[in-house]
Amino acid sequence: MRRERAVIIGSGPAAWTAAVYAARANLEPVVYEGEPTRDMIPGGQLMWTTEIENFPGFPEGVGGQDLMELMKRQALRFGTRVEQESVVTVDFGVWPFVLRPGYGEAFEAEAVIVATGARANWLGVPNEERLARTGGGVSACAVCDGALPAFRNQVLAVVGGGETAMEEATYLSKYAREVVLLHRRDALRASKVMADRVLRNPKIRVEWNARVVSVLGGDFVTGIRLQDTVTGAERDLPVGGLFVAIGHTPNTQFLQGQVDLHPNGYIKVAPGRTATSVPGVFAAGDVTDDYYRQAITAAGTGCMAALEAERWLAHHDAAAPEAVPASA
């Protein structure tokens, strides 16, 4: 069974940053970047973002796909190897750890960095996914996209009733002409403080008992079709952008509970660190973060994970031979 020094699972900003640092530290990392699925593609959520204006070093902005390609090229420059497969199961109960990809043979890893990110929860209505993937005015991140010129001084819709929706609506109110918050019930789920902040905002109005059944528009969203959840009546609402704020799901299913998770499924890490509950396994990026969810914060934790992995491996290299299990 082949044995790898450092394995990075994922291919977003956290994964490629970890790869750059690990490769420069001579850890000979291999990145399992995953395979396209209906919900995710290699490169993560930024692959669906047409323009990024808040990543340092790009004063004119940069496309999401372009940024991921540049990060990948930088990692490759220092000798990172890439496998275009997903890791489907892991065994962290033994060391070296055993990882099994979708098609290739199982292999061993001395250190693992999990950077598989999280996927946005979508409504699943007609036109939504197409316009989200093509930069057509449908987004799941107001902080990422809300300040773009296409959305400024527009009527923007936000779907959701929880904390995230309140934060998104409040943020968008700084740029939009009006923000319409759509909630399928007659009361918000968010905390009273957050709900009151939205309800008092003169640029935000709430459409109660409203469910989105379709997104309208060809190349760019022009409106949404709403259904009254009480009467069933439908009507069209013209908008210049739609922000879906119904949460994210971390990509942790393949771990099968072998590291400690928070109740919402995100990986638990030591405070201010990237170490998980399993020594030698580290986690970085949105798979650990349900608060910031930004490319720059993900990249920062990718750096941290690589540095921690390097130091952990150095400690094991210095250990007595009998303290380090031999390869199977």
| Active site amino acids | 141, 144-145
| Pairing state between β 281-283 and 107-114 | parallel
CA 82 to chain CA centroid, Å, is: 20
Q: Report CA-CA distances (Å) from 86 to 10, 23, 74, 147.
A: 8, 20, 21, 34
Residue entry with tokens 């739609």 = 242
Query: SS3 helix, strand, coil % of the chain, rounded to 5?
Result: 30, 25, 45
The arrangement of strands across the sheet holding 221-228 comes to: 210-217, 221-228, 234-238
**Alpha helix segments (H runs only) across 10-99:** 13-24, 64-77
| CA gap 93, 97 in Å, rounded | 7
| CA gap 140, 154 in Å, rounded | 17
Determine the residue type at 237. Answer: L
* CB 239, CB 155: distance < 8 Å: yes
The CB-side HSE value for 278 (13 A sphere, CA atoms) comes to: 24
User: Which value, to the nearest 10 degrees, does the dihedral of the CA atoms of residues 203, 208, 210, 215 take?
Assistant: 10
